[in-house]
């Protein structure tokens, strides 16, 4: 991976002056954070010399009733960015979904680097997601089950909110975008992730920040309130800017009736942060997970893939 990074700068693609850091989060499990992390990263890394179907922006109210039907699309070039996906969840879902192998408990890991006890170079743990659509631009930092102990280990670390930033800092020069798949937690690890996504000096608003994944049902609203309270408290306590990149309503199916449709309208009505993505509950994502392939290569023309590309462009 390091050899490829050194010899393959992103061609004909405008790189951000500061590596973008997208923290994909919600303390509620089961909303599909991992699928959104992977799909967004895949969409950002697709081949700029190829054309891919992208959902044309339209009113969510109009799109929501047509998720099971073909939507208006436009063929656009891939974005061609160099992307690192960070599996920050001890359950290792992102690692497993992309066909990777979780790191062994007795070896090196992101947790060790955050706790100030590294056993090697973090770059040596990175693996490439091999697929012709990404041409080596999409990489994964696998998870390790030792992340279950992260909050305990961080309690003994000074300036622990900056622990993730310190660990990932040596990697940033090699990537245009780093996406962090957060655990369903409101602990110290979430503080570290939110801090990592803060707006840095000289960085434009909306370049980095928190991307919140929800479902169109009531418990997601409760979890959203808890998460935003934590982020807002961190903003105030540390006097930092953490931008909300938007809300992604995932696993949506209008056939579930009033609960789904009224909940979607509730998310749309928030306005700030606005809904930046609406992804249907369709079979292709589940199939891609089963065969351990990236969704956008397994089913590149599926409605979920088309929606992921629209999401990636919306937050770019």
pTM: 0.91
Instruction: List CB contacts of 182: < 8 A, sequence separation 6 or more.
Output: 23, 24, 25, 26, 33, 88, 89, 189, 190, 193
Which whole number is the average pLDDT over 303-316? 95
- Location of structure tokens 């190829």: 50
Percent of the chain with pLDDT over 70: 91
Whole-number mean pLDDT of the chain?
91
Confidence at residue 7, expressed as pLDDT on a 0 to 100 scale: 58
What superfamily in CATH does domain 2-210+283-314 come from? P-loop containing nucleotide triphosphate hydrolases (3.40.50.300)
pLDDT band at 185 (very low <50, low <70, confident <90, very high): confident
Encode burial over 284-307: b for 16+ CB neighbours within 10 A, e otherwise: bbeebbeeebbbbbbbbebbbbbb
Cα–Cα distance measured from residue 216 to residue 196, given in angstroms and rounded to the nearest whole number: 28
Q: Which among 180, 81, 97 is positioned nearest to 137, based on CA atoms?
A: 81
Cα–Cα distance measured from residue 92 to residue 2, given in angstroms and rounded to the nearest whole number: 23
Q: Which helix (H) or strand (E) holds 260?
A: helix 258-270
Which whole number is the average pLDDT over 109-120? 95
């Amino acid at each position: 991976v390091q050899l490829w990074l050194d010899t393959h700068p992103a061609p004909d693609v405008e790189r951000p002056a500061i590596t973008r850091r997208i923290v994909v989060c919600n303390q509620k499990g089961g909303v599909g954070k991992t699928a959104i992390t992977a799909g967004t990263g895949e969409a950002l890394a697709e081949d700029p010399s190829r054309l891919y179907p992208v959902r044309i922006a339209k009113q969510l109210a109009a799109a929501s009733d047509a998720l099971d039907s073909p939507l208006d699309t436009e063929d656009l070039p891939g974005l061609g960015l160099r992307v690192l996906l960070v599996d920050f969840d001890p359950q290792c879902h992102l690692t497993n979904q992309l066909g990777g192998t979780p790191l062994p408990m007795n070896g090196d890991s992101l947790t060790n680097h955050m706790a100030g006890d590294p056993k090697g170079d973090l770059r040596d743990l990175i693996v490439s997601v091999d697929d012709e659509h990404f041409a080596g631009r999409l990489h994964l930092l696998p998870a390790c089950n030792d992340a279950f102990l992260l909050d305990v280990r961080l309690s003994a670390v000074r300036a622990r909110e900056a622990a993730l930033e310190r660990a990932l800092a040596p990697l940033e020069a090699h990537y245009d975008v780093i996406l962090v798949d957060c655990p369903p937690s409101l602990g110290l690890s979430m503080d570290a992730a939110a801090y990592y996504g803060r707006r840095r000096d000289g960085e434009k608003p909306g370049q980095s920040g928190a991307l919140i994944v929800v479902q169109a049902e009531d418990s997601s609203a409760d979890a959203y309130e808890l998460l935003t309270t934590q982020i807002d408290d961190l903003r105030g306590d540390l006097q930092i800017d953490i931008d909300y990149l938007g809300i992604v309503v995932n696993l949506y199916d209008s056939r579930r009736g009033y609960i789904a449709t009224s909940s979607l309208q509730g998310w749309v009505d928030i306005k700030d942060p606005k809904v930046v993505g609406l992804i249907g509950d369709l079979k292709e994502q589940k199939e891609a997970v089963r065969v351990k392939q990236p969704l956008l290569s397994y089913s590149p023309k599926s409605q979920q893939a088309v929606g992921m590309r629209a999401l990636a462009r919306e937050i770019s």
